[in-house]
Amino acid sequence: MGECHYRSGNYEAINKIAFIRMILKSLEINADRIAIEWASAAEGPLFVKLITEFTGKIKAIGTLGISEGLKREELMLKIKAASMAVEGMKVRMAFAKQAKQIKKDKAYGHLPSEEKLLTVLMNEMDRKFL
């Protein structure tokens, strides 16, 4: 991952995936529904393997919402609330602060103050929608 000239973008992607996993967990959605893997353009067979494995994993998890025990209306409400919250300035600023700290500490893929970020997210979800 760190060997190519896209290194900073790769690290940013890792942070965003950690943030999305946190959001999914807060919505009671299986966080295994998102993953990040690395494959270069020259690694076609690896890419096929990764996609095949991930597709199998998603099939095993099951239909979004149903496998989590959420009714469609509840699921859609939660997703809409989270979507509106992450578009807001407070959540974006809280994540940006986390990302800055991650870069400083070189602790990619780990949100240093996940509880604080989750609190901001949940407050914004409550305020905007729920």
Residue 48 lies in a domain: yes
Residue 37 lies in a domain: yes
Residue 2 lies in a domain: no
| Domains of the chain: total | 1
- What whole-number distance in Å separates Cα of residue 99 and Cα of residue 107? 10
pLDDT tens profile 117-130: 778 888 888 876 65
User: What is the reported pLDDT for 54?
Assistant: 97
| Residue whose structure tokens are 């609330």 | 81
Domain containing 106 equals 7-128
Is a pLDDT exceeding 70 seen at residue 78? yes
Residue 36 lies in a domain: yes
Residue 96 lies in a domain: yes
Which of 73, 1, 59 has the alpha carbon at shortest distance from 30? 59
Q: Which residue has the higher pLDDT, 128 or 52?
A: 52
- What whole-number distance in Å separates Cα of residue 70 and Cα of residue 78? 10
Residue 58 lies in a domain: yes
User: What is the reported pLDDT for 109?
Assistant: 64
Residue 21 lies in a domain: yes
Which of 84, 71, 95 has the alpha carbon at shortest distance from 21? 95
Reported as a pLDDT band with limits 50, 70 and 90, residue 105 is: confident
Averaged confidence pLDDT in the chain = 84
Residue 84 lies in a domain: yes
DSSP 79-110: HHHHHHHHHSHHHHHHHHHHHHHHHHHT-TT-
pTM higher than the cut 0.85: no
